[in-house]
Amino acid sequence: MPQDGIEESLGLVGWSFTDEGVGGLLKVRVEDFRVEEVSRVPALDPKGRFTVARVTLTNWETNRFLNRLSKQCGISRNRIFASGLKDKRAVTTQILVIDANIKKVESVEIPDCDLEILGRSHQKVGMSDHDGNRFTITVRGCCFPDGKPMDGKEALLRVTRIREGLSESLGADVFPNWIGPQRFGANRPVTPLVGMAVIQDDYESAVDLYLGMPGGRASEETHNFRKKWRETRDPSSCLEIIPGHLGYEREMLRHLDKKPEDWLGSFKTLPNSLQLLMIHSLQSLAFNHTLSNRISSGMSIIDPEIGDIVAPTKSNGRIDVSKMALVSKSNINRCIRNCRLGRLSVTGPLPGRDSTPALGKPGEAESKAIIDTQLESLNWRVKRIPRLSTSGTRRPLAVPFTDFSVEEATDIPESSEKSKRWEENPLDGDRWHPDGASLRLSFTLPPGTYATVLMREFMRSPLDHF
């Protein structure tokens, strides 16, 4: 995927409401992006097997933290259960269920981690078991498309205008449910390419891509490491220069250093959840391109057409995929009415070996997405890692956001640690200005929905600004 045209490659193209947005950068400070899981604490019982904890992390990617936690508790990573993976450059709060003694968990000492023991339980938590996520996000450096700084009054007016425009086109506080750039890697969209290699049983290519694919805005040491791998494919020499933060790559190289040419074994050093993410990101391409195709062709993503597949909407905004139904001439009026009432959702494909496509005009949008992303010939079976095989499912094309508020944010304190990008001047093609206004937005989203996608609606900045 070329750096130019990443949006098109990932299917993140199109708008339900046309506007220039406020521009700006996210995550200038770690504290500018906060997310708190909205979830019920598992039923507590002093005799329970598991330890339940509420953990607040600062600038930790979830998988890396769970690996660190498992080592300190002396247990396998697979014995720690969470219902969601959170962003790294953020302050995040979520519930963990840990298959370890309370005293072991209490003794954990990990930097930038506040771990509160809630008790013991017989219950685990599974992926997306939570009810939603509450976000508080600050966008800084708002500016006009020509690069001139935008003041707070104008930025607030634009956010209000976009919110009203989305409501007019989609319904009150609803937005397109794109799968966000972090699923793919906004600056290095490598995960769908690795996923394709895994589905094709080509683990040499999978490892080669993960280690060597270049990315935009990489540090010099990261750029040099990936370049050296592409040129030499020598694990030993690459280990000598690998940057400290590339822990997953280091484990892959160490495996190859001990067992040359064992590409499957090298790939399997990645956390199980990250291996699965590779497959999910490949499915996500089909969904995003379907959503883009519908918007560009003028099709509604709220009102179903004959041939669409709809699903009941749960109270937390997710859909019940066990009760999906095909829209036909006999039920279309009822389906439209229930979609407008929020009881049903029009869905798009996350393809797999047993997935059922839409028909008619909606089916054409899906078929075009599958062909455009070169997924039409895949059987979605992963022979050598069967747990990565997928039968496919569907995802709502639009989702609600609730508890929305926006206000001007304070300036950054001089003592605060700021992102390297903020410390530098804007580059050609950037959409932010250091003298532009800062806004703080708060909202709640259903699980599995991307805050950066809603922020994209308001900002209209390039993907690498998120």
Q: Which of 141, 177, 156, 84 is nearest to 453 (CA)?
A: 177
CA distances from 327 to 169, 331, 359, 361, 362 (A): 21, 6, 9, 12, 10
Record the tokens describing residue 295, joined without a space: 């918007």
Give the integer Cα–Cα distance in Å for 389 and 357: 18
Amino acid at 86: K
Reduce the DSSP state of residue 291 to 3 states and report it: helix
Q: Is 87 a catalytic residue?
A: yes
Out of 87, 131, 372, 430, the active site residue is 87
Give the integer Cα–Cα distance in Å for 331 and 335: 6
Give the integer Cα–Cα distance in Å for 252 and 235: 9
Q: Which of 346, 217, 291, 399 is nearest to 12 (CA)?
A: 291
Give the integer Cα–Cα distance in Å for 213 and 359: 37
Q: 143 has which bridge partners? A: 149
- 465: Cα within 13 Å, side-chain hemisphere: 27
Reduce the DSSP state of residue 80 to 3 states and report it: strand
Give the integer Cα–Cα distance in Å for 161 and 166: 9
CA 422 to centroid of chain Cα atoms: 23
Q: Spell out a b/e string for 422-446, using b for 16 or more CB atoms within 10 Å of the CB, else e.
A: beeebeeebbbbbebbbbbbebbbb
Q: Is residue 347 a contact partner of residue 319, using CB atoms and an 8 Å limit? A: yes
DSSP-H helix ranges across 18-151? 62-73, 102-106
Helix then strand then coil, in percent of the chain rounded to 5, is 40, 20, 45
Element (H, E) at 237: helix 235-241
Reduce the DSSP state of residue 419 to 3 states and report it: coil
Q: Is residue 279 a contact partner of residue 286, using CB atoms and an 8 Å limit? A: no
CA 101 to centroid of chain Cα atoms: 32
The residues carrying an active-site annotation are: 87
